[in-house]
Amino acid sequence: MAEEHFVVIGNGPAGYEAAMTLKEKAPEAYVSVISRNRESCYRPHLLPDLIAGKIPEEALYVCPTGAYREKGVKLRTGQRVAELDLTQKRVILDHREIVGFSGLIIAAGGKPRIPETLLVFRDLMLTLKTLEDAKVWMEKLSRADSVLIMGGDLTSFAVTKALLKLNKKVAFLLDEEAFWPLRCDRTTLEEAAHRLTRRGVEVLLDRRLKSMARVSNRAYEVQLNGDRMSVGIIGAFFGLVPDVRFLVGSGLRIDRGILVNEYLNAGYEGVYATGDCAQIYHPEIRDYWVSIGYDNAVNLGRTAALNLLGGKIKAEAAGESIFEVQGIRVNTSWWMEF
């Protein structure tokens, strides 16, 4: 019998957990992780703490790169998947290498969402998804005193907290779409504005962005309805969208993310998707859901691996719940939007 080769695309929390589970449960199998990033798996939710200087870079990592080898997992960093050939079970990499597989788990993660109306300003705004992004923030913050935060996802609040710790002047452009895709009622919005203001943040409530421009290497001019301001950095925090563009044409069903059944199977034998890039079918609501957060990613990564090895475990949908961000209670039922 030919040696099993399991390939995991993505080295975020879901991909890492999937790979390690595969190796743990099938020690004879060859397991490869293909990651476009250069680092070992890290905890992205700690990036604001890194920016704030609260933790060193080493504290981000789940394990050093050498640990993959010790555990018998081949980690391939800085490599991109160009396309998938699911009928012949081959991953084709950007550098024209063909990697055959007997089982595949796609854990490509998400990428920052920029609303269509702001796409024209994309190059002027910083996002925060990767360690590389965090290093750009840190470098720019060393030269900037003021930051405009746009959006309102979970990361925006964590970054705001980090900026305040660094004694930066923070303005927060907050409107009803800020918490996309969360439903945001007026009460929540005003509560958020109140709490941010109390912490020293200049909240720009119900203001609309009209334009922005770079006036120098260190300054941007932002025009709002009825106002104009100058800041050193503009941050965009509008949530994440699955990063699956490279899979278009692969035969996988893709909506916002890869459509998978409740067992995370993507419609092909031995092919699974998990983590932020998956849209998971929920038989009870007869619709798809996506997950956010480190813990969910880890759980889903493990589930995908176990099912690839023959398990029949349903992906656990995060329950409708309440959690706190910056002291604000947020309803996470927004995922029902999908």
Partner 1 sequence: MDLTVEICGMSGDGTIAAGGILNEAMSKAGFWVLAFDSYPAEIRGFGRCVTLSRFGDEERVALSDKTHALISLDDKQSLSRIPLLAKEAVVLFDNKPPSYVDAAGSIAAHVEPDVRLFGMPFGDLAAAASGSTRGRNLTALGGFAALFQIPPEFFHGVIRKKFGAKGEKVLEANLKSFDAGYAHAREEFKTVKEGGGEFPPKEEEDRILISGNEAISRAALDAGLKLYFGYPITPATPIMEYLARELPKRGGKVVQMEDEIASIGAVLGSFFAGKRAMTATSGPGFALMTELITHGVMSETPAVILNAQRGGPATGLPTKTEQSDLHAAVFGGPGDSARIVIAPTNVPECYGFTLRSFQLAEKYQTPVIVLSDFFLNNRVENVRLPPISEQERGDWNVYPEENQKGRYRRYQMTDSGISPRAVPGTEGFLFSATGLEHSERGTPDYSPENHMNMTEKRHRKIHRALVDLPAPREFSPGGKMDVGVIAWGSTFGSALEAVDIARREGLKAGALKIAAIFPYHGEVIREFMDRCEEVLIPELNYEGQLANLIGHLHRKDVVRLNRTPGMPMPPSVILDKIRGMIEAV
Interface residues toward partner 1, by CB under 8 A: 38, 40, 65, 68-69, 75-79, 92-100
Q: Which is nearer to partner 1, 80 or 329 (CB)?
A: 80
Q: Which is nearer to partner 1, 136 or 219 (CB)?
A: 136
Q: How far is the CB of 228 from partner 1 (least distance, A)?
A: 34
Q: Which is nearer to partner 1, 100 or 311 (CB)?
A: 100
Six-digit token pair at 23? Answer: 């190796």
Among 2, 148, 134, 120, CA closest to 55: 134
Task: Count Cβ neighbours within 10 Å for each residue of 57-79 and write b for 16 or more, e otherwise.
Answer: eeebbbeeeeebeeeebebbeeb
Return the residue matching tokens 């005193």.
145
Distance (Å, whole) CA 121 – CA 151: 14
Q: How far is the CB of 271 from partner 1 (least distance, A)?
A: 20
Q: Which is nearer to partner 1, 27 or 100 (CB)?
A: 100
Six-digit token pair at 205? Answer: 């409530």
Q: Which is nearer to partner 1, 32 or 155 (CB)?
A: 32
Q: How far is the CB of 304 from partner 1 (least distance, A)?
A: 22
Q: How far is the CB of 32 from partner 1 (least distance, A)?
A: 9
CB neighbourhood size of 39 (10 A): 17
Q: How far is the CB of 313 from partner 1 (least distance, A)?
A: 29
36 Cβ contact partners less than 8 Å away, ≥ 6 residues apart: 78, 79, 80, 81
